[in-house]
Structure 1
Amino acid sequence: MSTELELAGRIALVTGAARGIGAAVVEVLAEQGARVVATDTDEAGVKALAVRCGNRVTAHTLDVTDADAVENAVAEAERTHGPLDIVVNVAGILRGAAVVDLEDADWAAVFAVNTNGVFHVSRAAARRMAERGRGSIVTVASNAAGIPRSGMAAYAASKAAAVMFTKCLGLELAPHGVRCNTVSPGSTLTDMQRAMWERSPGGEATGRRAVIEGDLASYRTGIPLGRIAEPSDIADAVAFLVSDRARHITLHDLYVDGGATLRA
């Protein structure tokens, strides 16, 4: 049995890497041998991650809503480390409100990061990967992209757009040997999730229980597996999709939500 690390020699770029799912993705890719460019608007957070992970990880401050900055970051990553083999779009924000109360600025901000950011990063990577005839792009979306959620219209719509964009990109890049997939988590123990619980009556304990058990009043199912995901659960799914074990998988949307959506 080979002891070689599965992603040895691969070059990866991950957005939204300072914490939560993004940090977990960086960690697992580095553990499997990849050299990772970890990017985020949180300069201190992404630098701290690089220190924790050692010399396989390099920190880079990046705002994915800025198309020029993205193009420059991808060019610099390839100039410094070599051609990108893996790109993972994790950067995302949530602004929750009922549609009738949703502010224009919040709608625009959510789409700027969750949809436009995926477009900017994926386009910059795709241009280069297509020329080389290899590569893997994974977008971390949400199970909210596939089932309606009260108070989450902007987030759900932005993630649904990112899923379909990634599938269309995958169709265009398939003849060039580049695979494009999405991973759609359910409720996951991240700062974003905890912030939602803090705003709910009863705090984290009540919020956690409501997520697992479901809430008929808001038409939300619970989680059949009876647990909330850890960031590493999502990161492991990403690591599989970028590996050679998934070499015949593209245009796929992998739900990692403990069965919460009943795959609606």
Structure 2
Amino acid sequence: MSQERELAGRLALVTGAGRGIGEAVVHALVARGARVLATDLTPDGVAALARTYEDQVTARTLDVTDSAAVEGLVAETESTLGPLDIAVNVAGILRGSPVADLSDEEWAATFAVNTHGVFHVSRSVSRRMSGRGSGSIVTVASNAAGIPRTNMAAYAASKAAAVMFTKCLGLEVASRGVRCNTVSPGSTLTDMQRGMWTAGDEEASARGVIEGDPTTYRTGIPLGRIADPSDIADAVAFLVSDRARHITMHDLYVDGGATLRA
């Protein structure tokens, strides 16, 4: 079977699908034949995807921090659209500041989305997948989970927790035919990335990311480019496909070598 149809007949849930990496994941899965339940906290982006892919994408608003809402939507989806074969956790937020200036609210909000949200979605879908004896869950984490970053303690810690949670879940459900993996991007051209750049000077900001910054102990990107969201989405699409049928509990870095795989 060609890659273009390798996910035909499968149903996927994608969180944070309204823009950036989540939107790119929807495009990648649809291109390979999957039907997708595209969810986001705000409706506009996923509604646009549903209009573009009328027969393959269903849009729903979802707050992944709300455990009851997640469980309700998963139950509704399985009763109306069919059993979920794939789940991709993309929803995430970044609150960047030194630890000394990090508020309780910023810390809690970061973990609520980046870690608790992954738990809520993965728990709900894995219960059902385990009963059927098949399924694939991918969590989009960050290379910041594997190397210290200044001004990113909450984000990095929340992503590291999500990575280890996903690995532990993968160990628990492996014997029931469910695979759980993570994809850890580096700097990617998304609104989150641009939000950390100097306003009005995007070219210089991008160059600074590629070249690195010794004053903040940050290496550059050896491949000499910032990732496009499609680079991350292609990695996700591979991991949920049968080409990765013997891969589970794996953390795939897609960062152009930026962390030197520390």
Task: Find the counterpart in structure 2 of residue 14 from structure 1.
Answer: 14
Return 5+ residue gaps in structure 2 as ranges.
none
- Count the aligned residue pairs: 262
CA distance, structure 1, for counterparts of residue 101 and residue 46 of structure 2? 34
Moved >3 Å (runs of 4+): 1-4
CA distance, structure 2, for counterparts of residue 251 and residue 231 of structure 1? 23
State the 1:263 CA deviation.
0.2
1:104 aligns with 2:107: no
Contact 2:4 2:31 in 1 (8 A): no
Contact 2:3 2:32 in 1 (8 A): no
Correspondence list, 1:232-247, <5 A: 232-247=230-245
1:25 aligns with 2:34: no
Query: Residue 15 and residue 105 in structure 1: after superposition, are their counterparts in 2 closer, same or farther (change >3 A)?
Result: same
CA distance, structure 1, for counterparts of residue 156 and residue 4 of structure 2? 40
Contact 1:27 1:53 in 2 (8 A): no
Q: CA-atom RMSD, angstroms?
A: 1.2
CA distance, structure 1, for counterparts of residue 250 and residue 4 of structure 2? 27
Q: Deviations over 1:22-81 (max 9, x none)?
A: 000011101101000000011112101221233200000000000000000111111111
Residue number among 250, 253, 258 corresponding to 1:260 in the alignment = 258
Task: Find the counterpart in structure 2 of residue 127 from structure 1.
Answer: 127
Task: Find the counterpart in structure 2 of residue 250 from structure 1.
Answer: 248
State the 1:111 CA deviation.
0.2
CA distance, structure 1, for counterparts of residue 163 and residue 50 of structure 2? 29
1:159 aligns with 2:159: yes
Letter matched to residue 236 of structure 2: V
CA distance, structure 2, for counterparts of residue 42 and residue 261 of structure 1? 32
Task: Find the counterpart in structure 2 of residue 223 from structure 1.
Answer: 221
CA distance, structure 2, for counterparts of residue 216 and residue 204 of structure 1? 20
Task: Find the counterpart in structure 2 of residue 44 from structure 1.
Answer: 44
Task: Find the counterpart in structure 2 of residue 207 from structure 1.
Answer: 205
CA distance, structure 2, for counterparts of residue 77 and residue 190 of structure 1? 29
The two structures have a TM-score, normalised by structure 1, of 0.97
Query: Residue 97 and residue 233 in structure 1: after superposition, are their counterparts in 2 closer, same or farther (change >3 A)?
Result: same
CA distance, structure 1, for counterparts of residue 3 and residue 230 of structure 2? 22
Task: Find the counterpart in structure 2 of residue 146 from structure 1.
Answer: 146
CA distance, structure 1, for counterparts of residue 63 and residue 3 of structure 2? 37
Letter matched to residue 229 of structure 1: A
State the SS of the aligned residue for 2:180.
Answer: strand
